[in-house]
Amino acid sequence: MASQQQRAPASTEAFVPKPNASNQAVGQDQPKTIGDALEDAARKAHDKPLEVKDARAIQSAEAHATGIGPGIAGGPAAYAQHLLDTQQQATLGDALQGAKSYLPADKVVTPRDVSGVTRTEARNHPVGTPALSAGGVAASVQAAGQYNVNKGFVAGSRAGQNAGGVGGNNSNAPAGTGGNTISPA
């Protein structure tokens, strides 16, 4: 396991405040966010060894949550990459512990997020291994996206699901983005 290192939360300057208990209605179903999905992956695959495909999926999820493509200093993706670079025997749980608190912004998971994170994880898997890990980052984002569609929090197709999970393929995305474009809110 990786040594427990202290990380300072990422700066929240110039970002919209995240939802919290004080600004949420009590007793209502709430949509699942990307931060929720990352922490769900930490719980479900806490002892799974951290791999490059996990770090890339975390980076994709972080970009979808924050709108910052290259990542944020001190964020979950940077920490996962640090664990890989220093060759620590880290797990996915180590990399994503408290991930939501290190995101300067968070958003509800949409079919577009599911598609982007799933494609990123699949694209970076080692040859001869399953493209997606059960309980991994993409699987957790996919489950959150499906929950949001089923509850009516976001639009999406329940039938005819593609490899991206709950949504369609963004074939109109700019070349080279793999559909990972962030639309202004």
Q: Tell me: the pLDDT tens digits for 96-143?
A: 999 999 999 999 999 999 999 999 999 988 776 666 778 899 999 999
Q: Is the pTM of this model over 0.85?
A: no
Beta bridge partners of 33: 108
Determine, yes or no, domain membership for 163.
Answer: no
Residues in the chain: 185
Determine, yes or no, domain membership for 168.
Answer: no
**Whole-number pLDDT of residue 178:** 40
Determine, yes or no, domain membership for 13.
Answer: no
**Whole-number pLDDT of residue 126:** 79
Q: Which residues form the domain of 98?
A: 31-150
Residue 59 token pair: 């980076």
Determine, yes or no, domain membership for 141.
Answer: yes
Query: Which parts of the chain sit beneath pLDDT 70?
Result: 1-28, 128-131, 157-185
**Whole-number pLDDT of residue 125:** 83
Residue 148 token pair: 């949001």
**Whole-number pLDDT of residue 28:** 62
Residue 146 token pair: 């499906």
**Whole-number pLDDT of residue 127:** 75
Q: How many domains does the chain have?
A: 1
**Whole-number pLDDT of residue 131:** 66
Determine, yes or no, domain membership for 12.
Answer: no
Would you say 70 and 64 are in contact if contact means Cβ atoms under 8 Å apart?
A: no
DSSP character string of 14-47: TSPPPP-GGGS-TTS--PPBHHHHHHHHHHHTTT
Determine, yes or no, domain membership for 109.
Answer: yes
Q: What b/e readout covers 107-140, taking b as 16+ CB neighbours within 10 angstroms?
A: bbbbbbbbbbbbbbbbebbeeeeeebbebbbbbb
What is the rounded CA–CA span in Å between residue 131 and residue 16? 34
Determine, yes or no, domain membership for 93.
Answer: yes
Determine, yes or no, domain membership for 145.
Answer: yes
